[in-house]
Amino acid sequence: MKRTNTPLNDAFIVETKKYEDERGFFIESFNEKNFNDIGLNEKFVQDNHSRSSINVLRGLHYQVVKPQGKLVRCMTGRVIDVIVDLRKSSSTFGKHFSIELSSPEVMLWVPVGFAHGFYCLTEVCDISYKTTDYYYKEHDRTLLWNDLDIKWPSQSPILSEKDKTGKRFSECEKYD
């Protein structure tokens, strides 16, 4: 297992080994000991699976009061995955990072205190992610996808009503 830090504090990329032959492949997607060895000592309580169509943008989502850390990977297709540091105490507060995820052996660790979103680049995208806390609708928040200088593949993505009406960075709730 390999850890590669991103420019944002506490966020990093995790790469697991992929064993392939003529039958297909095998990936050990989660092993608590291996994750602990690279500094990811989180307890995961929920697994989520999201399917999107081409040009769908989901995000930028986060939870206040009961924030979630997320371990994200793309199972099918290709996505541009984006995170934004909303922790006022962080030296990377207000900065964002994006990565193309396109293989299940590469994951992005999204720490507590970050907003997260993704844009589907292919006909179908399946995203799988583990979370460190449960989903609480009453604490769910959305940072407006186009408020920051994020290089999305399109300026006219397919959005949910929730994502169309997100809050600007200057107005959104943040973490201490």
* Residues 43-164, CATH architecture: Sandwich (2.60)
Give backbone dihedrals phi and psi of 63, rounded to 5 degrees, phi first.
-120, 135
Look at residue 175 in the predicted model and tell me its pLDDT. 96
What is the distance between the alpha carbons of residues 105 and 88, in angstroms, rounded to a whole number?
32
Between CA 29 and CA 35, with CA 34 as vertex, the angle to 5 degrees is: 75
pLDDT for the residue 121: 98
pLDDT of residue 134: 97
Please tell me the pTM assigned to this model. 0.95
Please write the tens of the pLDDT for every residue from 106-129: 999 999 999 999 999 999 999 999
On the question of a cis peptide bond just before residue 60, with omega within 30 degrees of 0, the verdict is: yes
Active site residue 19: no
112 neighbors 83 (Cβ within 8 angstroms): no
Task: Enumerate the domain spans of the chain.
Answer: 43-164
pLDDT > 90: percent of the chain: 99
Catalytic one among 62, 96, 119, 129? 129
Asked about 62 being catalytic, the answer comes back as no
Q: Which of 19, 49, 61, 175 is catalytic?
A: 61
